């Protein structure tokens, strides 16, 4: 199965789906061109409403991670995976430069990042 959901989690189910698929794309466990299950199929496999899975797929499409074409389904977009890690490195570099410019210590800058990561990854 491509994803697993935890009904007891405080994280909305569509977000659990989106996050898991995005992570698999970033780690290249789902390489560019990989066809994802149809919305209906994944909803049936997970015992969810079709709209829940559709919401997750829309979020992934908006982020440029997947593309959906009528009659062809949803596939992992080209240019995902390693380039997304490179994007994160660029953003981290920008953050490091800003932290230095603002006079923060390395420790202070790391603490801010850790706090934000804790908020996002619970």
Each domain of the chain, given as residue ranges in start order, spans 13-76, 82-121
Residue 39 near residue 55 (C-beta atoms within 8 A):
no
What integer is the mean pLDDT of 34-51?
96
What integer is the mean pLDDT of 46-70?
94
The predicted model scores a pTM of 0.67
- How far is 64 from 89, CA to CA, in rounded Å? 18
How far is the CA of 26 from the CAs of 20, 60, 77, in angstroms?
A: 10, 12, 11
What integer is the mean pLDDT of 63-72?
90
What integer is the mean pLDDT of 82-96?
80
What pLDDT is stored for residue 1 in this prediction?
82
What integer is the mean pLDDT of 17-46?
93
Assigned CATH topology for domain 13-76: Arc Repressor Mutant, subunit A (1.10.10)
What integer is the mean pLDDT of 2-22?
95
């Amino acid at each position: 199965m491509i994803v697993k959901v935890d009904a007891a989690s405080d994280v909305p189910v569509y977000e659990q789906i989106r996050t898991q698929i995005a992570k698999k794309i970033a780690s290249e466990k789902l390489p560019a061109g990989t066809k994802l299950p149809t919305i209906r199929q994944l909803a049936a496999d997970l015992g969810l409403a079709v709209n829940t899975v559709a919401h997750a797929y829309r979020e992934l499409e908006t982020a440029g991670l997947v593309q959906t074409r009528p009659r062809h389904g949803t596939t992992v977009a080209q240019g995902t995976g390693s380039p997304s890690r490179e994007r994160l490195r660029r953003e981290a570099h920008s953050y490091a430069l800003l932290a230095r410019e603002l006079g923060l210590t390395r420790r202070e800058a790391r603490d801010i990042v850790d706090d934000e990561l804790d908020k996002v990854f619970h």
